[in-house]
């Protein structure tokens, strides 16, 4: 599964705008976010759709689909939950 390219990131633009407003994250490259000095969130694309890999409380990445508005809202909810702790 490859990292999300420019067309996919354009599709995710509203979600990325929301993520950029979250405290404690740095976007080092488009769609690739770090928390402190650790990789925290990035996006992938494949024929089945778009996915976010995020560290949501575990030391490893958790993959979440971000193809629908509901899936994107769930990702934002989980990110806020982790960043509030």
For 19-32, write each residue's pLDDT tens digit: 999 999 999 999 99
pTM of the model: 0.93
Distance of CA 2 to the CA centre of its chain: 14
* Number of domains within the chain: 1
- CA dist 25 and 34 (Å) reads 6
Instruction: Give the residue-averaged pLDDT of 53-58.
Output: 92
Question: What angle separates helix 69-83 from helix 13-20, to the nearest 10 degrees?
Answer: 10
CA gyration radius for the chain?
A: 12
Q: Is pLDDT at 69 greater than 80 in this prediction?
A: yes
Q: Is pLDDT at 45 greater than 70 in this prediction?
A: yes
Task: Show the domain range for 54.
Answer: 2-83
Give the pLDDT of residue 85.
Answer: 57
Q: How confident is the model at residue 58 (pLDDT cuts 50, 70, 90)?
A: confident
């Amino acid at each position: 599964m490859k990292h999300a390219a420019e067309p996919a990131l354009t599709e995710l633009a509203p979600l990325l705008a929301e993520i950029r407003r979250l405290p404690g994250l740095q976007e080092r490259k488009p769609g690739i976010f770090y928390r402190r000095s650790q990789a925290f969130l990035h996006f992938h694309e494949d024929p089945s759709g778009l996915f976010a890999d995020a560290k949501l409380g575990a030391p490893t990445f958790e993959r979440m689909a971000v193809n629908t508005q509901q899936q994107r809202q769930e990702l934002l909810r989980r990110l806020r939950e982790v960043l509030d702790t």
